[in-house]
Amino acid sequence: MGRSRLSPTPIFIVLCLSGIVVALACQVPVFRYALERWAPAEYLVSVTPSGGGLTDSEKKLVEALRAAPGDAVNPANIEVQVEAPGSSSPAQLALHYPNKLRDAAGKPIWQVPLNDENVRRLVDSPARQELRQRLLAGESAIWVLVESGDRAKDDAAFAALAQSLEEAAGSLKLPDGVVTQAAVKSGTRVNEQADVLRTDLPLKISFSTLRVRRDDPAEVVLLAMLTHMEPDLGGLAGEPMAFPVFGRGRTLEPLVGAGIHKGNVIEHSTYLCGACSCEVKDQNPGIDLLVAANWSPVDTTPQLEIIRIAPTAETPPARRTPTIPIAIVVALIALAFVAMRRRSRIRHSDFRPR
């Protein structure tokens, strides 16, 4: 069982600090802000030809990969790089995390021969198609349960997750002060564009689950992305893992085994449904996944009438918030995220079994 909580976790610390600056923060909830405004980071796809170079069929596969980011239907967040010829035959295809997680040695998270089947598996998969559909429908988060292969453990974890999400959906509240597109279209005048939703999608708290077998050949790329995001996850393959996916295919660190319980699920869900106090994506927890999707339906800038009210004798100027206190709060939030990374192993003991 997980250790007792003697001190708040870094996410909880961030939530507390965020409350200090709630008046300054964007009130759009994190899951919706991420969907409408955070572009996914690009994964590096490297191709290493055999000693004799790429064959004609391999060159066509490379061109297909290079065309994937510009696909008119579902563009993929990848960049393609052809390496110098190596000694392996056939040519090799390797997938690397985006820059934020790419280690200095460039070690790939998935490496296979370059062939048509592996190219298809890299770009898309049934589970990622389902994630894309649900995210574009406006769901707050889809909790992906990566099964361990032990039926009893997996069923127990799924039941605990489903019950916890039901309680979270019933108890959590959306932030106040968010302006919908319907309100804008009805003539509402606003003076803070950061709190305006960019789409007509209903704003609601809605969670769902998706189970993925650890040995599913169609999901090898999704599994590689999820199970390599923390260095110690490989040693926990015998436990079910729950990953909350939100925004444009972004996920937080997983809950593992006995760590899949109401307290942890509600903590993650509280962050996702709370006001987006830090609008810079890379200063928030989590990583982006490779999801081929056309996010353009949620990537539009609304046409708003921004009202600027000039001070008058009857209307005294609004009091300016001192710069130094704001800077201190921002620094504290940044330190909390640093602590999150440094204490990941300690923190994981809350989310994982002994």
Give the burial class of 255: count Cβ atoms within 10 A of its Cβ; 0-12 exposed, 13-18 middle, 19 or more buried: buried
Residues of the chain above pLDDT 90, percent: 58
- Collapsed DSSP state (helix, strand, coil) of residue 212: strand
- Judge whether residue 88 has pLDDT over 60: yes
CA-wise closest residue to 210 among 131, 292, 289: 131
Enter the pTM of the model.
0.77
Contact status, residue 215 vs residue 198, Cβ threshold 8 Å: no
What's the whole-number mean pLDDT along residues 177-183?
69
Residue whose pair of structure tokens reads 């062939």 in the numeric block: 115
- Judge whether residue 131 has pLDDT over 90: yes
Lowest-pLDDT range of 100-109, 197-206, 301-310, 335-344: 301-310
Contact status, residue 96 vs residue 106, Cβ threshold 8 Å: yes
The amino acid that residue 56 corresponds to is: D
- Judge whether residue 142 has pLDDT over 90: yes
- Judge whether residue 311 has pLDDT over 50: no
Looking at residue 276, its pLDDT comes to 80
Confidence at 176, pLDDT banded by 50, 70, 90 = confident
Confidence at 244, pLDDT banded by 50, 70, 90 = very high
Looking at residue 121, its pLDDT comes to 98
- Judge whether residue 84 has pLDDT over 50: yes
Looking at residue 202, its pLDDT comes to 87
Mean pLDDT of the chain: 80
What's the whole-number mean pLDDT along residues 247-274?
96
Looking at residue 288, its pLDDT comes to 96
In SS3 terms, 275-321 reads as: ECCCCCHHHCCCEECCCCCCCHHHCCCCCCCECCCCCCCCCCCCCCC
Element of type H or E holding 256: strand 255-256
